[in-house]
Amino acid sequence: MNDIYGELKKQLSASEMNNLKIKQCQWIKDRDAASQKELKEDGEGTLAYAEEARILHEMTRERCCELATYYMK
Q: Where are the domains of the chain?
A: 1-8+36-73
Q: Which long-range contacts (CB under 8 A, 24 or more apart) does 21-27 make?
A: 27/63
Three-state DSSP class for 73?
coil
Per-residue pLDDT at 61: 96
Say what the pLDDT of residue 13 is: 94
Mean pLDDT of the chain: 90
> Which residues are CB-neighbours of 17 under 8 A, at least 6 positions away?
8, 9
pLDDT, one tens digit per residue, over 4-44 is 989 999 999 999 999 999 999 999 999 999 888 877 777 76
pLDDT higher than threshold 80 for residue 59: yes
Give the pLDDT mean for 41-64.
Answer: 85
The pLDDT, as a whole number, for residue 51 is 83
